[in-house]
Structure formats: C-alpha cells, structure tokens
C-alpha cells in the first residue's frame, strides 16, 4: 500500500496561524500512544508476533509505531 502522508513542522504551523487569525482551541497529541489505540484485524496478527530472548512469543494487538503502513492506517480514521 502506498499512503500519502505529510508531517507539519513549526514553520508550517506558524504560517497557518499567521494566515488564519482568530481564536483557536488547541490540544496536545501524543503520536506514539495514538498508534497503540488502533487495533489490528485478527487476520493480520500473525504478522505481529515477536519472540523475546527467553523464547516467549508476544502478539501485538495494536498498530505499531514505526511500521511502514502504520502512518496510512492511522491516517484513515484520524
């Protein structure tokens, strides 16, 4: 899948507010934790199994931060 993404930086955000004067309500958003709010479809969980150094298997039930498709998956409902 090829997801189009864009990341705002300070200059882009500052320009937006400069070009759009008025009152604004802002919020802080934790991107790393946001990804962990999106569950992975049960059919895809087999691809998210991790084996630790003690031989235990762990299954991630949510979209991982840093995954190639995570940005597009996160952007769909956002």
56-69 pLDDT, tens per residue?
A: 999 888 776 655 55
Q: What is the pLDDT of residue 33?
A: 64
Q: Is residue 10 scored above 80 in pLDDT?
A: no
* Cα angle, residue 66 at apex, residues 62 and 70 outer, rounded to 5°: 55
Helix, strand or coil, per DSSP, at residue 72: helix
Residue ranges per domain, the chain?
10-75
Q: DSSP letter for 33, please.
A: H
Q: What is the pLDDT of residue 43?
A: 87
pLDDT tens readout for residues 12-51: 778 888 998 889 887 766 665 666 677 778 888 888 888 9
DSSP designation for 42: G
Does 52 score more than 90 pLDDT?
yes
């Amino acid at each position: 899948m090829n997801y189009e993404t864009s990341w705002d930086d300070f200059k882009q955000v500052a320009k937006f507010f400069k070009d759009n004067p008025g009152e604004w309500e802002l919020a802080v958003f934790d991107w790393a934790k946001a990804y962990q709010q999106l569950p992975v479809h049960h059919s895809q969980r087999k691809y998210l199994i991790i084996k630790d150094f003690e031989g235990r298997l762990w299954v991630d039930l949510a979209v991982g931060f840093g995954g190639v498709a995570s940005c597009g998956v996160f952007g769909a409902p956002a």
